[in-house]
Amino acid sequence: MVSHSGLLTVMERAARKAAPRLRRDFGEVQNLQVSRKGPADFVSMADKRCEDTLVEELKKARPDWGFLLEEGGEIKGNPDKPRWIIDPLDGTTNFLHGIPHFAISIAVEEPRPGGRPEVTSGIVYQPITDESFWAEKGRGAWVQSQRLRVSSRRELPDALIATGIPFLGHGDFAQWSRIFGAVAPEVAGIRRFGSAALDLAWVAAGRFDAFWESDLKPWDVAAGVLLVREAGGFVTDFRGGDRAMERNEFLAANDVLHSKLHKLVAGALR
């Protein structure tokens, strides 16, 4: 049975410390759906409370590390030490509407002298299902104690693809439509479930065969990208390069499907 490193233990403990309140708040959201004011303000507070708990717990363990937070922005730490990248509630719109598909995402980004920082540890925790997807560079990807591998499917007609659809001022709908028009006729199905962190975790677990999305933030994808790569998958930008974070474009799959999807996506963007 695989064991966590000390760092992963810290990360999982923080996620599990924040999760019970998030579950209670999620139960309350369903009661607020019928109110005139609605649950939006309550959900914003739930998001912030979860982030505060995570920061408090992680600071105890690594007091000199910095943070990149969805709600709180950047908190500087020792520049020679790693920093935490945190999304306390990935899938906020699902949470807001009482849909039980959301996650806590925590990643560790280490500085690299003379090079780009590198994410070396990550966890995506789903409070409703109690699934803990985690990965460390060089140690593979796991859900609880079960090793994860990306899907072995090789043919597009067999593939189930995840994506994120642009909405209300977020994303490039024209670009997404071109990609959708190229990919949809070739695959078994396309799903939009509303949490990029879980989409990537599910690619790592072989539940989805591939994923594409753009206009994401580092806290949405940092842990999930590591999960896919440690599960044997590829994550690139839409052009097949290694600048996914810089270009804010993410295409994830096993090697064969990635090659086939990359040709479709790149062709659609010419």
Give the model's confidence band at 35: pLDDT under 50 very low, under 70 low, under 90 confident, else very high: low
Same domain, 67 and 99: yes
Assign residue 207 the CATH number of its domain: 3.40.190.80
Q: Is residue 168 part of a domain?
A: yes
| pLDDT tens, residue by residue, 76-90 | 999 999 999 999 999
Q: Read off the pLDDT band of 226 (50, 70, 90).
A: very high
Between residues 171 and 191, the one the model is more confident about: 191
Structural domain of 244: 156-268
Residue 197 lies in a domain: yes
Q: Which of 120, 147, 174 is the last residue of a domain?
A: 147
Shared domain for 40 and 107, answered yes or no, is yes
HEC readout, the chain: CCCCCHHHHHHHHHHHHHHHHHHHHHHHHHHHCCCCCCCHHHHHHHHHHHHHHHHHHHHHHCCCCEEEECCCEEECCCCCCCEEEEEEEECHHHHHCCCCCCEEEEEEEECCCCCCCEEEEEEEEECCCCEEEEEECCCEEEECCEECCCCCCCCHHHCEEEECCCECCECCHHHHHHHHHHHHHHCCEEECCCCHHHHHHHHHCCCCCEEEEECCCHHHHHHHHHHHHHCCCEEECCCCCCCHHHHCEEEEECHHHHHHHHHHHHHHCC
CB burial readout 203-234, b (16+ within 10 A) else e: bbbbebbbbbbbebebbbbbbbbbbbbbbbbb
Is residue 40 assigned to a domain? yes
Does one domain contain both 133 and 32? yes
Counting the structural domains of the chain, the total is: 2
Question: Do 17 and 108 belong together in one domain?
Answer: yes
End residue of a domain, out of 109, 124, 147: 147
- The answer to whether position 110 is within a domain reads yes
118, part of any domain: yes
33 and 131: one domain? Answer: yes
In this prediction, residue 1 carries a pLDDT of 54
171 shares a domain with 138: no
Identify whether 98 is part of a domain. yes
The residues with which 104 forms a beta bridge, in sequence order, are: 125
Give the rounded distance of the alpha carbon of 48 from its chain centre: 18
Same domain (yes/no): 160, 129: no
11 and 142 together in one domain: yes
Residues 258 and 163 in one domain: yes
Shared domain check, 11 and 143: yes
How far is it, in rounded angstroms, from Cα 231 to Cα 26?
A: 31
- pLDDT over 90 percentage in the chain: 83
Task: Tell whether the model's pLDDT for residue 4 goes beyond 90.
Answer: no
Tell me, what's the pLDDT at 29? 81
Domain shared by 23 and 124, yes or no? yes
Whether the predicted pLDDT of 37 surpasses 90: no
User: Is 233 within the bounds of a domain?
Assistant: yes
Least confident among 28-32, 196-200, 215-219: 28-32
pLDDT band at 241 (very low <50, low <70, confident <90, very high): very high
Region of poorest pLDDT, from 19-33, 50-64, 144-158: 19-33
CATH number, domain of 56, equals 3.30.540.10
Please name the amino acid found at residue 227: L
Domain boundary residue, one of 119, 147, 175: 147
Check pLDDT > 90 for residue 113: no
Mean of pLDDT values over 171-185: 96
Are 211 and 253 members of one domain?
yes
Q: Is the confidence at residue 34, as pLDDT, over 70?
A: no
Count of residues for the chain? 270
